[in-house]
Amino acid sequence: MQYRTLGRTGVQVSSLALGAMNFGRIGRTTQDEATAVVDAALEGGINLIDTADMYGGGESEEMVGKAIAGRRDDIVLATKAGLPMGDDPNHRGSSRRWLVTELDNSLRRLGVDHVDLYQIHRWDPETSDEETLSALTDLQRAGKIRYFGSSTFPAHRVVQAQWAAREHRLGRYVTEQPSYSILQRGVEAHVLPVTEEYGLGVLVWSPLASGWLSGAVRAGREITTSRSAAMPQRFDLSVPSNRARLDAVERLAVVADEAGLTLIQLALGFVTAHPAVTSALVGPRTTDHLNAQLAAADTVLSADVLDAIDAIVAPGTDLAAHEKFDTPPALLDPALRRR
Residues 6+ apart with CB under 8 A from 29: 22, 23, 37, 63, 285
Percent of all residues in the chain with a pLDDT value above 90, rounded to a whole number:
87
Residues 6+ apart with CB under 8 A from 286: 33, 37
The two beta strands, 16-19 and 12-14, are: unpaired
Q: What is the DSSP code (8-state) at residue 273?
A: H
User: How far apart are alpha carbons 120 and 124 in whole angstroms?
Assistant: 9
Residues 6+ apart with CB under 8 A from 252: 182, 213, 263, 266, 267, 309, 312
Length reported for the chain: 339
The two beta strands, 201-204 and 145-151, are: unpaired
Say if residues 211 and 217 touch (Cβ distance below 8 Å). Answer: yes
- Give the pLDDT confidence score for residue 234 in this predicted structure: 85
The beta strand positions in 20-103, using DSSP E, are: 48-50, 76-81
User: How far apart are alpha carbons 49 and 77 in whole angstroms?
Assistant: 5
Buried b / exposed e across 298-323, counting CB within 10 Å, b at 16+?
A: ebebeeebeebbeebbeeebbbbeeb
pLDDT tens-digit readout, 240-267: 999 999 999 999 999 999 999 999 999 9
User: How far apart are alpha carbons 296 and 62 in whole angstroms?
Assistant: 28
Active site residue ranges: 55
Per-residue pLDDT of the chain (339 residues; tens, 9 = 90+): 999 999 999 999 999 999 999 999 989 999 999 999 999 999 999 999 999 999 999 999 999 999 999 999 999 999 999 999 999 999 999 999 999 999 999 999 999 999 999 999 999 999 999 999 999 999 999 999 999 999 999 999 999 999 999 999 999 999 999 999 999 999 999 999 999 999 999 999 999 999 999 998 888 888 777 777 778 888 888 899 999 999 999 999 999 999 999 999 999 999 999 999 999 999 999 999 999 999 999 999 999 999 999 999 999 999 998 888 777 778 778 898 898
- Give the pLDDT confidence score for residue 230 in this predicted structure: 78
- Give the pLDDT confidence score for residue 191 in this predicted structure: 97
Cα–Cα distance list, 201 to 64, 193, 208, 266, 295 (Å): 23, 12, 20, 22, 23
- Give the pLDDT confidence score for residue 330 in this predicted structure: 80
- Give the pLDDT confidence score for residue 71 in this predicted structure: 94
Q: What is the CA radius of gyration of the chain?
A: 19
- Give the pLDDT confidence score for residue 237 in this predicted structure: 85
Phi, then psi, of 197 in degrees rounded to 5: -60, -40
- Give the pLDDT confidence score for residue 34 in this predicted structure: 97
